Structure 1
């Protein structure tokens, strides 16, 4: 493969009530809502993007929230956990923070190199906060509810649970240009570039497990980074030549995307780093207004009537509140 990913771009999951989703991820996890738009394939529901101050690739978790959606089932053929990087020594603070919100969390692994705090969001999505001995240099979003000294630095890793890990690892290494970092019983850790936080995928073997059902509280797809559209086009051609059923390049306004499903059943996306989330609203105002692509703008009135009313915590745009 001539093209290699530089790491994770975003993870997209499915949620229920959008206001509950916003309250948890802005106030609970301390992320910033950087874009409020709609699902371009189903404009009657939102597409909500959370990340750091500007929504840099590798910081993003996004949701399609459908009020009343049935719960999904975690299982084989899915990304079964999404992890975020937090500073070493911060998990005690996070445990107390979640306790104050009525959210149950527990330490699931402790070693000299890495500690992991596990929890579920209000829809049952599996999340992990990973505190590593390796310093994550990325700047956090300093919110009112989560001080910068404890705050999320960005994505850490995604867990893929599949029946045959060898085939999935082959896709990640041969077709996405990643490399194996470590192997243990039933788990292979694969990394892009330096293999640090934001560039990691853990592949777990579950040969006899129940196949997952994509619905509320589950991951829809995992997206990997590519610098620009021309590189993405080259990558698409190479993947198609290898026999993958790859989509055409799709315009997502803030990046362009291609999609294909790896042999284990997980839907992969390759998304560009550019143009970013400040192309249609200033950095200070990210997430405040419903943004629509040009082809949906003529239907704005109907769309705004159909989507659920939501409000954004003031801490999402503190400079604007201070200047009001």
Structure 2
């Protein structure tokens, strides 16, 4: 039986790609590893930020929707993104850095049993810096040496992802019975699961909350993608999803990876995505994220697509 080795990427909505681009590169110090468009609606940017090569598990991705309204927070939504940093001293560094940039933040506290610093981007997307405290991370993650953030404090990759739902048991059962996640802790209204035992890079924190469902807008999270190694594994999971009674999108070729989508019983959208071929399929490591990259089926529309996009740099 195949297992899930961690998160692949997470995708959000931004209203303004220029502001988004500035925040994630200039303030968070992440590398823009791919500047492309939404393959289903190429009038909008699709931006990816991550480590040196945009390794699976480090990728934050954003769709630019210029008509996006405000997010109305509620349940049945992916609500917070954990980002791993090297140490407690890194949290102190980031608190001071956020103060210098007037970034909305809280005090250094704890989250899911680890030192943490909650903050929001300029559109209200909720994130948490988590002290990785020397824990092992995937060996393919590579630091981007041109980051504006000192090496000893750089964001390493994705950590715990928080999902709020009305029915905790339904999502918990999907994670454990279908994907083999391990239960780490459990209370009446919160549970923590890991795809790899003891590793925060594949951790999901489920919180149970009644009330109205979140109304998505700028700064909301669209979906979470989890990792598989290759197409053979993806085909296996496609059958598992269908046998479980969920509707699968079927396998879609996204050029940089292959994936499928399904919604679990609370309506949370998951993507299952392959590690490769990766963002260097049409770019050198050195040139990642500089030009507008398009999959081959959109290349003949390049002039039209570029005319509809506002330059970022």
TM over 0.5: yes
Deviation, structure 1 residue 136: 4.4
C-alpha distance in 2, partners of 1:224/1:112? 20
C-alpha distance in 2, partners of 1:159/1:228? 26
Deviation, structure 1 residue 197: 2.4
Unaligned runs of 5+ in 2: none
1:286 is matched with which residue?
A: 288
Q: Does 1:55 pair with 2:54? A: yes
1:106 is matched with which residue?
A: 106
Deviation, structure 1 residue 234: 1.4
Change (3 A) 1:179 1:135: closer
Unaligned runs of 5+ in 1: 312-324
1:129 is matched with which residue?
A: 129
Deviation, structure 1 residue 134: 4.3
2:20 is matched with which residue?
A: 21
Q: Given that residues 82 and 159 in structure 2 are in contact (C-alpha distance below 8 angstroms), is that contact kept between their aligned partners in structure 1?
A: yes
Deviation, structure 1 residue 68: 4.1
Q: Given that residues 11 and 222 in structure 1 are in contact (C-alpha distance below 8 angstroms), is that contact kept between their aligned partners in structure 2?
A: yes
Deviation, structure 1 residue 267: 0.2
1:177 to 165, 177, 180: 180
2:304 is matched with which residue?
A: 302
1:3 is matched with which residue?
A: 2
C-alpha distance in 1, partners of 2:100/2:65? 27
Deviation, structure 1 residue 296: 0.7
Q: Given that residues 9 and 59 in structure 2 are in contact (C-alpha distance below 8 angstroms), is that contact kept between their aligned partners in structure 1?
A: yes
Q: Given that residues 30 and 147 in structure 2 are in contact (C-alpha distance below 8 angstroms), is that contact kept between their aligned partners in structure 1?
A: no
1:152 is matched with which residue?
A: 155
Q: Given that residues 44 and 64 in structure 2 are in contact (C-alpha distance below 8 angstroms), is that contact kept between their aligned partners in structure 1?
A: yes
Q: Given that residues 24 and 121 in structure 1 are in contact (C-alpha distance below 8 angstroms), is that contact kept between their aligned partners in structure 2?
A: yes
Q: Deviations over 1:195-226 (max 9, x none)?
A: 312110000010x2221112211000000000
Deviation, structure 1 residue 291: 0.7
Change (3 A) 1:110 1:241: closer
C-alpha distance in 1, partners of 2:172/2:252? 26
Q: Given that residues 31 and 143 in structure 1 are in contact (C-alpha distance below 8 angstroms), is that contact kept between their aligned partners in structure 2?
A: no
C-alpha distance in 2, partners of 1:128/1:139? 21
Output the aligned Cα RMSD. Answer: 1.6
